[in-house]
Amino acid sequence: MVSSINVEKLAERLATETNPLQLIDVREPEEVEIAAIDGFTNLPMSQAHEWIVEIEETFDPRTETIVMCHHGIRSAYACHWLESRGFAKVFNLSGGIDAYAIVVDRSVPRY
């Protein structure tokens, strides 16, 4: 079972966090062009073969990592994979960017 974080808690953490957070968005580039949250690095699931071999060079497995997609399905898969690679503090954004747009920031476009 993947640990999760809700959009309200994410917004609070983004506004107040002093400890480093790693933020990964596994949506496709076209989706990110429509709606995005500042600070997330886009690593599209469809391009995993390109970034998968370098993930541990780019991201620290000991640092808290939050993964996002549109609704939380793809990001849950990515969380499982990251955990299998030794990432210890991985959280799936429940409801994804869609929930963020509904609950936290209505200026974020929905699609």
Pairing outcome for strands 90-93 and 22-25: unpaired
Q: Which residue of the set 35, 69, 79, 99 is catalytic?
A: 69
Asked if 21 contacts 66 with a C-beta cutoff of 8 angstroms, the reply is yes
- Alpha carbons within 13 angstroms on the beta-carbon side of residue 20 total 6
What would the two tokens of residue 2 be?
């993947």
Query: Is position 69 annotated as part of the catalytic site?
Result: yes
List residues with catalytic annotation. Answer: 69
